């Protein structure tokens, strides 16, 4: 399969997925018209107001028509007005998504650097003391939920030591210091998992015939790891990293709420608490889109790392 | 001899002379005296009613930006405010006819003087001729009439509609004077005009203030982003004493006060809107902040809708009151940092408080009443709450849940997010609602328990109660008023409308360099007196 | 016993079994083990090992409402263990059923089911939960529904893969020619082959579910109070955590130790499975 046709096929599946998801979301939130009116106009609205509003906004049209109109609006960038924030949804979702990308990017960096680093270190000398220490560390960090580490790390670094800021609103502009704690908490939870996968992969590769041969020939161990083992050992971990992206979208919700970080996760949370249905719909659509795109990306990277496997083959 | 004089120069109201006699004879304390005088627009020695904004020990320093952690909700129309947070945003740019400081004395604001008729049924307000709007217009009687008409219009959704229901007419009597006519005497009218829904908007106001933020106040709105921030800057052309701060930035840090304190502790904000009892120890442990606390009539009311089953049976409501352990709710849910209450929603800090004997807990009698009402084998009810002020609301409800279980009443707690509680607070049959401080018990009674009142969430309706309240509200003399409140309170307590267990002490925290800040019992933050050292 | 032997030789598995089995036991024996009623107000904010006015011993202290933390943790184990197990089991029931069908039938049914699974999997887990809870509210049943909905597709994928693999083997072909019913083939010939990998997945998933229920509790979207719930306990206690660290430390240890136990168990199972495969 060529790259072109691979991308074409993946895109087609992605579009079909998005269409299905959009239909489900629309069905779930807007099939009950009376409910929509209450959520948009509030509990204080009178029945007359609701009826007028529903008529004015075409809510008495057939469901399929409404869905197609909604979908059309979505594709053309007309996502409606947030009932809570009182601004067009597109004007708020994208800056928030950018802020979350920054947070998730930082966390990903921590995960990759520490997860891969620790995994490679442990895998190079399987069974050594270092290996065991790293293994224990990684299994323990994976078992501590992010909200628990957020409570503890804030307790230590904000209240006790007074070293770091306790809220990460970044209202007055970008601040690296405000990013440290959220990134650390997000990274801590996931890096253990990556370290374990990398270690296992590393152990396997280090045990393969050609590495053993290179060792017997007396090649420099660092050189062996860098030249031979790394590339092969990284295939699984990289896939895992890409699979972390959707997880990070979940993880940012807790962390953003905790640190009052104005990102996509806290936006979805606020939208949910305030029954801001148009915003919840948009957030759900965007998060699914992010996941679908990250899947295509991970397939591409996978193919690039492992040329023996043809693109699109079932892995 | 006291040197009584009116703000307007008009003759002193006869009630003021009678109170002076009582005061001089030692039958009235100075504070009640000054306060009651202020309703009548009368000052002692001329100076006591003058604004005392500075609270000054040191000379205030001008300049600087204050960062204020506070939730930013949508603001549209000040008379519709349900959150005091929102009213504090308006307060920077919009002003009130009168101003009531933490000491509960009514002071001139947009109105520089007021004179009631002898029978308290018409009131002449004299407006400050210096007052101008930020668009250059003068503040005129037309503005006052426009605002009050909006409040009391037949289709008005504002709580002001109930609070000012007695207003029967308004008339411009001069370039800067207006006469308000009442259908029944209301002595505390000037004090009520500082309720948080009474901010004066321009006569051309169309319903969405941030779209065209014209105001008479010392600050101008620059930015408001719901859920994020709001920015106000000092107006150099303000008609009164200019503010000290150059800019106020409100920063929305979410609903969690722990995060607010974390931000305060690490210097990201200078002031937080409010802390709760849960953060008390945390605040104590932070070295670089000042803690502000006081007494107020803030409380949570677990009220029952008297027309909804099973609460339409007074025996059930009585049983719930008898089984509730008010002291335990105070001790546990608010860790004793408050004052015990006895289910009638008038507080000792309110000037017209008449102390009723406390209700004793009696689980056996509660059981007996329940059995009589046909619930001998127990009763299952649901209590809805929203933790609008913090988790202590839920803690209070949980203690009540335990208390009532002893009498065989199973309470299911329906805990909603705060933003979802406000839309339904007056709809649920059994709900826990936070009521902010009002300077007078009668103001709360009027809003929350008068038959058909817009904020009457319990649907309590009693002509006897309404009449007693009318009587009390017509009295100026503090002692007479207190005595008249006895009936109001007793009717309410006997009707078993609510479990109202305690008055919570308000508390908040600020950075060390925030000066001139006094905790207002109603959480009304007037920012022009604040400065940074 | 013989089957268990290879597992028990691994110290990590033993720790895993001890931790997760321990919590399971605690959940079952909660009424016997808990020293006090988890809802009863005894004495507010007692420190760990403090003695109450009536001579009660509060091993892990009490919370703000004066409820014994040890008793709440023990009863909370019930909530976590019961709801995560229940939710995971229902997820398994659906995932396995559809996985078997899709893997065995192939063709359009497989394509349709796989597509449906992919659609659900394209929701980030917590996003899906929040959407479901916005729609139907938070209650124990709804949490079970949410977990089922989000976990079943992943189980479906595993079962489908194994089924496709097994269905092509000779003995299944033999069973088909002998005229055995489809259900019998699915349940007797194919299903048992899935237990190894599924056991590993089950442990891990149980751990995630426990964490997710905790996270929902922490976000205030979980089980309504006063149900003892570990995540909710952390959330309730965190404002006071500086002055009274015991309010959050113990629930955190509880949730972490359960997850740790389950992931160690999963690791051990996986290693033994792999060893078996190598032998075979």
Question: Cα separation of B65 and A101, whole Å?
Answer: 30
Buried b (16+ CB within 10 A) or exposed e, A63-90: eeebbeebeeebeeeebbebbbbbeebe
Backbone Cα Rg of chain C: 22
Q: How confident is the model at residue C7 (pLDDT cuts 50, 70, 90)?
A: low
Share of chain B above pLDDT 70, in %: 97
pLDDT in tens, B394-437: 999 999 999 999 999 999 988 887 777 877 888 899 999 999 88
Query: Per the structure block, which two tokens stand in for B80?
Result: 């519709």
Strand partners, B300: B434
How close is the nearest chain B Cα to the Cα of A165, in Å?
A: 5
- Residue B64 in any domain: the answer is no
Greatest pairwise CA separation for chain C in angstroms: 77
Q: How confident is the model at residue B498 (pLDDT cuts 50, 70, 90)?
A: very high
Domain C5-265 CATH (choose: 1.10.260.30, 1.10.3720.10, 3.20.20.70, 3.40.50.300): 1.10.3720.10
Query: Per the structure block, which two tokens stand in for B402?
Result: 């335990």
Strands (E), B252-376: 271-272, 289-293, 299-304, 338-340
> What is the value of pTM for the model shown?
0.82
| Contacts for B26 with CB less than 8 Å, ≥ 6 apart | none
Instruction: Round the average pLDDT of chain C to a whole number and report it.
Output: 82
Instruction: Spell out which residues of chain C touch residue B414, defining contact as CB-CB under 8 Å.
Output: 224
pLDDT value of residue C263: 84
Q: What angle do CA B362, B368, B372 make, to 5 degrees?
A: 145
Among partner residues A86, A165, A167, which is closest to B226 by beta-carbon distance?
Answer: A86
Tokens 């089957």 -> residue: C3
Instruction: Spell out which residues of chain B touch residue C226, defining contact as CB-CB under 8 Å.
Output: 398, 401, 413
Closest CA to B456 of B121, B187, B199, B165: B165
pLDDT in tens, B37-53: 888 888 776 545 544 44
Instruction: Round the average pLDDT of chain A to a whole number and report it.
Output: 82
Domain boundaries, chain C: 5-265
Strands (E), chain C: 50-51, 57-58
How close is the nearest chain B Cα to the Cα of C13, in Å?
A: 40
pLDDT in tens, B157-214: 888 888 898 999 999 999 999 999 999 988 889 989 999 999 999 999 998 999 999 9
Q: How confident is the model at residue C107 (pLDDT cuts 50, 70, 90)?
A: confident
Put simply, the answer to whether A144 touches C252 (Cβ < 8 Å) is: yes
Among partner residues B285, B391, B399, which is closest to C41 by beta-carbon distance?
Answer: B399
Share of chain A above pLDDT 90, in %: 3
Give the three-class secondary structure for B499: strand
How close is the nearest chain A Cα to the Cα of B228, in Å?
A: 8
- Residue B317 in any domain: the answer is yes
Instruction: Spell out which residues of chain B touch residue A164, defining contact as CB-CB under 8 Å.
Output: 266
Identify the DSSP state of B180.
E
Question: Cα separation of B297 and B338, whole Å?
Answer: 10
Put simply, the answer to whether B402 touches C40 (Cβ < 8 Å) is: yes
Chains in touch with B (3+ beta-carbon pairs under 8 Å) read: A, C
> Is A71 part of the contact surface with chain B (CB cutoff 8 Å)?
no
Put simply, the answer to whether B253 touches A172 (Cβ < 8 Å) is: no
- Residue B433 in any domain: the answer is yes
Give the three-class secondary structure for C277: helix
Does B144 have pLDDT greater than 90?
yes
Strand partners, B114: B125
pLDDT value of residue B223: 93
Q: Could you tell me whether strands B167-174 and B122-127 are parallel, antiparallel, or unpaired per DSSP bridges? A: unpaired
- Contact yes or no for B444/B345 (Cβ under 8 A): yes
Share of chain C above pLDDT 70, in %: 95
- Contact yes or no for B382/B311 (Cβ under 8 A): no
Q: Containing domain of residue B330, as a range?
A: 299-504
Tokens 């001899």 -> residue: B1
- Residue B310 in any domain: the answer is yes
Put simply, the answer to whether C225 touches B394 (Cβ < 8 Å) is: yes
> Is A46 part of the contact surface with chain B (CB cutoff 8 Å)?
no
- Residue B68 in any domain: the answer is no
Identify the DSSP state of B333.
I
Query: Per the structure block, which two tokens stand in for C14?
Result: 């033993």
Question: Cα separation of B162 and B527, whole Å?
Answer: 29
pLDDT value of residue B233: 96
Put simply, the answer to whether B285 touches C242 (Cβ < 8 Å) is: yes
Query: Per the structure block, which two tokens stand in for B87?
Result: 């009213």
Q: Could you tell me whether strands B219-225 and B229-234 are parallel, antiparallel, or unpaired per DSSP bridges? A: antiparallel
Among partner residues A87, A158, A167, which is closest to B253 by beta-carbon distance?
Answer: A167
Ordered strands of the B507-511 beta sheet: B219-225, B229-234, B247-251, B65-69, B271-272, B507-511, B289-293
pLDDT value of residue C222: 75
How close is the nearest chain C Cα to the Cα of A45, in Å?
A: 21
Query: Which of B405 and A170 is assigned the larger pLDDT?
Result: B405
Put simply, the answer to whether A254 touches C255 (Cβ < 8 Å) is: no
Query: Per the structure block, which two tokens stand in for C275?
Result: 């060893």
pLDDT in tens, A130-160: 888 888 888 888 888 888 888 888 888 888 8
Does A237 have pLDDT greater than 80?
no
The torsion of the CA quartet A216, A219, A222, A223, rounded to 10 degrees, works out to -130
Q: What angle do CA A7, A8, A10 make, to 5 degrees?
A: 65
Query: Per the structure block, which two tokens stand in for B288?
Result: 């670089």
- Contact yes or no for B478/B493 (Cβ under 8 A): no
Give the three-class secondary structure for A231: helix
- Residue B124 in any domain: the answer is no
Tokens 């305690």 -> residue: B502
Instruction: Spell out which residues of chain C touch residue A287, defining contact as CB-CB under 8 Å.
Output: 123-124, 127
- Residue B435 in any domain: the answer is yes
- Contact yes or no for B476/B467 (Cβ under 8 A): no
| Contacts for B458 with CB less than 8 Å, ≥ 6 apart | B303, B304, B305, B306, B448, B449, B497, B498
pLDDT value of residue A313: 43
Closest CA to B508 of B256, B257, B245: B257
- Contact yes or no for C225/C72 (Cβ under 8 A): no
The neighbour count for residue C276, using CB atoms within 10 Å, is 11
Does B54 have pLDDT greater than 60?
no
Of the ranges A63-67, C145-149, C172-176, which one carries the lowest mean pLDDT score? C172-176
pLDDT value of residue B57: 57
| Contacts for C62 with CB less than 8 Å, ≥ 6 apart | C42, C43, C44, C45, C46, C50, C68, C69
- Residue B324 in any domain: the answer is yes
Reported as half-sphere exposure (CB side, CA atoms, 13 A), residue A55 has a value of: 6
| Contacts for B41 with CB less than 8 Å, ≥ 6 apart | B6, B7, B8, B13, B113, B114, B115, B116, B190
Strand partners, A261: none
Instruction: Spell out which residues of chain B touch residue C218, defining contact as CB-CB under 8 Å.
Output: none
Among partner residues A178, A262, A275, which is closest to B228 by beta-carbon distance?
Answer: A262
How close is the nearest chain A Cα to the Cα of C186, in Å?
A: 23
C 52-111 residues inside an 8 A Cβ radius of B: 64-66
Domains of chain B: total: 1
Put simply, the answer to whether C224 touches B415 (Cβ < 8 Å) is: yes
Of the ranges B109-113, B368-372, B477-481, C267-271, which one carries the lowest mean pLDDT score? C267-271
Among partner residues A20, A145, A268, which is closest to C127 by beta-carbon distance?
Answer: A268
CATH code where residue B367 lies:
3.10.105.10
The neighbour count for residue B154, using CB atoms within 10 Å, is 5
How close is the nearest chain B Cα to the Cα of C224, in Å?
A: 7
Burial bucket for residue C82 (CB in 10 Å: 0-12, 13-18, 19+): middle
How close is the nearest chain C Cα to the Cα of A217, in Å?
A: 29
Question: Cα separation of B62 and C200, whole Å?
Answer: 67
Q: How confident is the model at residue A44 (pLDDT cuts 50, 70, 90)?
A: low
Give the three-class secondary structure for B83: coil
Q: Could you tell me whether strands B247-251 and B229-234 are parallel, antiparallel, or unpaired per DSSP bridges? A: antiparallel
pLDDT value of residue C209: 85
State phi, psi for B346 to the nearest 5 degrees.
-125, 135
Average pLDDT over residues A219-232: 68
- Contact yes or no for A52/A65 (Cβ under 8 A): no
Does C180 have pLDDT greater than 80?
no
Put simply, the answer to whether B74 touches A84 (Cβ < 8 Å) is: yes
Query: Per the structure block, which two tokens stand in for A128?
Result: 């050594």
Backbone Cα Rg of chain A: 24
- Contact yes or no for B105/B49 (Cβ under 8 A): yes
Identify the DSSP state of A228.
I
Strands (E), B102-246: 106-108, 111-116, 122-127, 167-174, 177-182, 219-225, 229-234
- Contact yes or no for B484/B472 (Cβ under 8 A): yes
Average pLDDT over residues C73-93: 87
> Is A88 part of the contact surface with chain B (CB cutoff 8 Å)?
no
Instruction: Spell out which residues of chain B touch residue A165, defining contact as CB-CB under 8 Å.
Output: 262-263, 266-268
Average pLDDT over residues B308-318: 92
The neighbour count for residue B181, using CB atoms within 10 Å, is 14
Structural domains in chain A plus CATH codes: 90-264 (1.10.3720.10)
Helix (H) or strand (E) holding B86: helix B84-93
Share of chain C above pLDDT 90, in %: 3
What is the value of ipTM here, to two decimals? 0.80
- Contact yes or no for B99/B51 (Cβ under 8 A): yes
pLDDT in tens, B204-241: 999 899 999 999 999 999 999 888 899 999 999 999 98
pLDDT value of residue B458: 93
pLDDT value of residue C2: 55
């Amino acid at each position: 399969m060529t790259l072109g046709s691979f991308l074409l096929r993946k895109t087609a599946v992605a579009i079909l997925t998005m269409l299905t998801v959009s239909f489900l979301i629309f069905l779930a939130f807007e099939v009950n018209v009376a409910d929509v009116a209450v959520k948009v106009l509030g509990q204080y609205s009178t029945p007359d107001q609701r009826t007028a509003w529903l008529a004015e906004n075409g809510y008495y049209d057939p469901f399929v028509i409404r869905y197609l109109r909604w979908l059309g609006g979505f594709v053309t960038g007309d996502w409606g007005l947030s009932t809570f924030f009182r601004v067009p949804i597109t004007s708020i979702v994208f800056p928030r998504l950018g802020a979350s990308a920054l947070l998730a990017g930082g966390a990903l960096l921590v995960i990759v650097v520490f997860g891969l680093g620790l995994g490679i270190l442990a895998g190079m000398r399987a069974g050594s003391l270092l290996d065991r220490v790293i293994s224990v560390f990684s299994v323990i960090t994976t078992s501590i939920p992010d909200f628990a580490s957020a409570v503890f790390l804030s307790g230590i670094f904000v209240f006790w030591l007074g070293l770091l800021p306790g809220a990460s609103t970044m209202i007055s502009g970008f601040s690296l210091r405000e990013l440290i704690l959220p990134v650390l908490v997000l990274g801590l939870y996931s890096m253990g998992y990556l370290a374990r996968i990398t270690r296992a992969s590393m152990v396997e590769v280090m045990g393969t015939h050609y590495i053993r041969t290179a060792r017997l020939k007396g090649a420099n161990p660092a050189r062996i790891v860098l030249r031979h083992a790394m590339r092969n050992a990284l295939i699984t971990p990289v896939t895992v990293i890409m699979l972390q992206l959707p997880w990070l979208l979940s993880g940012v919700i807790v962390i953003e709420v905790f640190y009052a970080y104005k990102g996509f996760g806290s936006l979805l949370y606020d939208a949910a608490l305030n029954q801001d249905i148009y915003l919840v719909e948009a957030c759900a659509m965007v998060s699914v889109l992010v996941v679908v795109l990250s899947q295509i990306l991970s397939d591409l990277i996978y193919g690039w790392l492992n040329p023996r496997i043809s693109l699109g083959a079932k892995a | 001899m006291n040197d009584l004089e009116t703000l307007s120069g008009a003759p002193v109201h006869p009630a003021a002379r009678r109170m002076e006699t009582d005061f001089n004879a030692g039958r009235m304390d100075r504070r009640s005296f000054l306060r009651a005088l202020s309703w009548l627009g009368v000052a002692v020695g001329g100076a006591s009613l003058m604004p005392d904004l500075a609270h000054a020990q040191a000379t205030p320093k001008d300049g600087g930006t204050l960062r204020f952690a506070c939730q930013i909700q949508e603001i549209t129309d000040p008379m519709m405010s349900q959150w005091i947070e929102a009213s504090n945003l308006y307060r920077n740019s919009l002003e009130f006819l009168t101003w009531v400081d933490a000491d509960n004395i009514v002071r001139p604001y947009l109105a520089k003087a007021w004179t009631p008729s002898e029978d308290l049924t018409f009131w002449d307000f004299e407006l400050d001729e210096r007052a101008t709007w930020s668009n250059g217009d003068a503040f005129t009687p037309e503005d006052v009439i426009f605002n009050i008409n909006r409040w009391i219009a037949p289709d008005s959704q504002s709580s002001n509609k109930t609070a000012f229901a007695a207003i029967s007419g308004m008339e411009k009597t001069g370039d800067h004077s207006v006469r308000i006519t009442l259908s029944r005497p209301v002595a505390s009218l000037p004090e009520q005009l500082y309720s948080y829904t009474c901010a004066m908007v321009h006569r051309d106001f169309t319903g969405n203030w941030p779209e065209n933020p014209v105001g008479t106040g010392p600050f101008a709105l620059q930015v408001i982003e719901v859920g994020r921030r709001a920015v106000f800057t000092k107006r150099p052309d303000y008609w009164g004493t200019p503010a000290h701060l150059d800019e106020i930035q409100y920063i929305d840090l979410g609903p969690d006060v722990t995060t607010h304190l974390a931000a305060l502790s690490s210097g990201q904000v200078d002031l937080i809107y409010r802390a709760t009892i849960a953060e008390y120890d945390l605040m104590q442990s932070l070295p670089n902040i000042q803690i502000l606390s006081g007494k107020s009539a803030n409380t949570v009311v677990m009220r029952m809708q008297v027309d909804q089953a099973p609460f339409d049976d007074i025996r059930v409501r009585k049983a719930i009151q008898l089984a509730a352990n008010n002291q335990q709710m105070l001790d546990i849910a608010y860790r004793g940092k408050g004052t015990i209450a006895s289910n009638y929603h008038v507080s000792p800090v309110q000037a017209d408080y008449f102390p009723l004997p406390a209700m004793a807990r009696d689980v056996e009698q509660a059981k007996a009443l329940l059995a009589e009402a046909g619930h001998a084998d127990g009763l299952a009810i649901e209590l809805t709450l929203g933790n609008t002020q913090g988790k202590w609301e839920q803690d209070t409800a949980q203690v009540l849940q335990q208390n009532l279980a002893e009498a065989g009443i199973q309470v299911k707690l329906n805990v909603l997010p705060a933003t979802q509680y406000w839309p339904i607070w007056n709809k649920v049959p059994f709900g826990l609602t936070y009521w902010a401080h009002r300077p007078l018990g009668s103001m709360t009674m009027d809003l929350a328990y008068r038959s058909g009142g817009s904020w009457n969430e319990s649907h309590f309706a009693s002509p006897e109660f309404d009449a007693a309240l009318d009587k009390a509200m017509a009295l100026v003399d503090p002692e007479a008023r207190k005595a008249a409140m006895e009936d109001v309170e007793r009717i309410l307590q006997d009707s078993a409308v609510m479990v109202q267990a305690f008055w919570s002490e308000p508390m908040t925290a600020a950075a060390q360099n925030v000066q001139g800040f006094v905790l207002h019992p109603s959480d009304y933050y007037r920012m022009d007196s604040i400065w940074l050292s | 016993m013989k089957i268990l032997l290879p597992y028990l030789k691994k110290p990590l598995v033993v720790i895993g079994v001890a931790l997760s089995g321990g919590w399971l036991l605690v959940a079952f024996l909660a009424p016997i083990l808990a020293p006090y009623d988890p809802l009863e107000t005894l004495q507010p904010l007692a420190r760990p090992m403090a003695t109450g006015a009536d001579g009660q011993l509060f091993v892990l202290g009490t919370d703000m409402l004066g409820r014994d933390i040890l008793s709440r943790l023990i009863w909370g184990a019930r909530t976590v263990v019961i709801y995560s197990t229940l939710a995971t089991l229902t997820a398994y029931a659906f995932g396995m059923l559809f996985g078997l069908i899709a893997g065995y039938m192939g063709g359009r049914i497989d394509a349709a089911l796989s597509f449906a699974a992919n659609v659900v999997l394209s929701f980030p887990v917590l996003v899906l939960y929040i959407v479901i809870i916005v729609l139907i509210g938070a209650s124990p049943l709804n949490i079970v529904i949410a977990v089922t909905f989000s976990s079943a597709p992943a189980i479906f994928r595993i079962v489908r893969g194994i089924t496709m693999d097994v269905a092509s083997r000779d003995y299944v072909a033999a069973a088909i020619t002998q005229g055995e019913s489809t259900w019998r083939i699915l349940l007797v010939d194919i299903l048992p082959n899935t237990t190894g990998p599924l056991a590993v997945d089950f442990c891990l998933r149980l751990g995630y579910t426990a964490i997710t229920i905790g996270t929902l509790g922490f976000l205030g979207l979980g089980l309504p109070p006063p149900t003892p719930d570990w995540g909710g306990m952390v959330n309730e206690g965190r404002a006071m955590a500086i002055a009274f660290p015991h309010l959050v430390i113990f629930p955190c240890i509880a949730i972490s130790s359960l997850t740790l136990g389950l992931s160690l168990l999963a690791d051990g199972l996986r290693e033994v499975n792999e060893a078996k495969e190598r032998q075979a």
